[in-house]
């Protein structure tokens, strides 16, 4: 199981109960925690063991206050996940599993929208892809928010890069239910496995 990791996409307060609160967010967090517990339970416990046996990587939307995707700048979204605000923080139930080296920031440039976590970078400047490659990961489970945007784009980029991608169907939240179903159907067709 050493070649298997979990990628948690945008489980951030603005997408949970903030300016862009998504549907199914509480259930998605509960399901993600159940999954993490299942994958990390065993005779040996402790943060280091969990990290080495089942790495959990976090993707975070991380916008400057005048980001181009915000309505004030002519973009489609209300301000959300602004750097340094509570809305940009990982939900407290999941935060204990996060570390800086496995946290990847995206959308931090004022003039660039970034739905995919694939090119997100950590504090050291390594991309999500770089780190998965260094860790020799082959199988990636994905949960997070939102199905139609960042989850879908991240899953598709991971698949294109050659990983086996398993999407936790009950561990995702969405902007719109119909859009969620359409995105799931499209991803399934592309070869992303829904579990």
Separation between Cα atoms, residue 59 and residue 61, nearest integer Å: 7
106 catalytic, yes or no? yes
Q: Which is nearer to ligand VGL, 14 or 166 (CB)?
A: 14
Give the x-and-dash track for 141-160 against ligand VGL (CB under 6 A): ----xx--xx----------
| Whole-number Cα distances in Å, 167 to 14, 15, 40, 48, 188 | 22, 19, 18, 25, 9
Catalytic residue list contains 68: no
Are the C-beta atoms of residues 8 and 59 closer than 8 Å to each other? yes
Selecting among 10, 14, 61, 157, the annotated active-site residue is 10
Given ligand VGL, Zn ion, none, residue 150, with its beta carbon under 5 to 8 Å by kind, binds ligand VGL
Q: Does 10 bind Zn ion (CB under 5 A)?
A: no
Residues 6+ apart with CB under 8 A from 186: 152
List active site positions.
Answer: 10, 106, 150
- Positions that interact with ligand VGL (CB under 6 A): 10, 15, 61, 69, 77, 145-146, 149-150
């Amino acid at each position: 199981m050493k070649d298997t990791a979990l990628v948690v996409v945008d489980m951030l307060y603005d997408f949970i109960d903030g300016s862009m609160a998504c549907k199914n967010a509480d259930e998605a967090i509960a399901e993600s925690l159940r999954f993490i517990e299942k994958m990390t339970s065993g005779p040996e416990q402790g943060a280091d063991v969990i990290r080495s046996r089942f790495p959990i990587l976090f993707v975070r939307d991380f916008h400057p206050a005048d980001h181009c995707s915000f309505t004030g700048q002519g973009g489609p979204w209300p301000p959300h996940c602004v750097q340094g605000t509570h809305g940009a923080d990982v939900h407290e139930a999941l935060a204990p599993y996060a570390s800086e080296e496995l946290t990847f920031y995206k959308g931090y440039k004022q003039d660039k929208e970034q739905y995919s976590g694939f090119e997100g970078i950590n504090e050291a400047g390594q991309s999500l892809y770089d780190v998965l490659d260094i860790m020799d990961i082959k199988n990636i489970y994905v949960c997070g928010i939102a199905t139609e945007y960042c989850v879908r784009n991240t899953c598709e980029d991971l698949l294109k890069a050659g990983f086996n991608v398993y999407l936790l169907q009950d561990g995702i939240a969405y902007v719109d239910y119909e859009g969620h179903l359409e995105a799931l159907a499209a991803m399934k067709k592309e070869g992303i496995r829904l579990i």
